Amino acid sequence: MLQGKNAIITGSTSGIGLGFAQGLAAQGANIVMNGFGDADEIEKNRLQLEQHGVKAIYNGADMTKPAEIAALVSEAKETFGSIDILVNNAGIQKVSPIDEFPDDKWDAIIAINLSSAFHTIKHSVPIMKSQGSGRIINLASVHGLVASPFKSAYVAAKHGIIGLTKTVALEVAEYGITCNAICPGYVETPLVAGQITDTAKARGMTEEEVKNNVMLKAQPTKRFITYDQLNGLIVYLCSEAGAGANGASINIDGGWVAQ
């Protein structure tokens, strides 16, 4: 379905981002991986992507550094000749009461979860305009639509992503480009694993209590969202069938926001 398309996916060395890379590669898209992690593990995952008959490269740009983000976009264009899909997925989390929230963690979360998307979009849009087509997908969260305690920076950043998505969608609509946000509920990722530990500490609960009484309590299905469920949506948004979706914030949350 996406044969010959070229995708940048930030934060794609693990978790949801790696799931997105696998899902798009399976549909024929070439992939630019990005993120931190063990070099051998990253190379293993890159080679696995190429088993789908696509080309995959890795760029370790730090999402807190605008110059490195610009270089990432430039390398993608030079390597593949076009940028058809941009997925802004990079993110970190910190769970803490507002009066104890570390200043440096606030700054880092805003930089990686929100500002990095601004920079990737800024540098990718001129390329997409010249092509007359493009798909921009921002990974938001149900926390871009509703709030939870102890997540001030994350909730602020994800609400910002929703606003950025809508604004960009209006600006690029006449150029054959779309910009949408995906708002998942809880997915069992390395990030969520750390969140479970932090939330247990912040609330004086066991980790199992956090899973069942905090996280899955919010999702009426009582099940974590899966990578396959997210990939079904991202493939649709990247396809011709998804061309009419623009400026949307689509939640896959087991019914969380319906409450």
Annotated catalytic residues are 154
Q: Cα separation of 228 and 82, whole Å?
A: 27
3-class DSSP assignment, residue 130: helix
List CB contacts of 166: < 8 A, sequence separation 6 or more.
247, 249
The answer to whether the beta carbons of residues 36 and 30 sit under 8 Å apart is no
The answer to whether the beta carbons of residues 147 and 98 sit under 8 Å apart is no
DSSP tag of 179: E
Q: Cα separation of 140 and 165, whole Å?
A: 9
CB atoms within 10 A of CB 230: 19
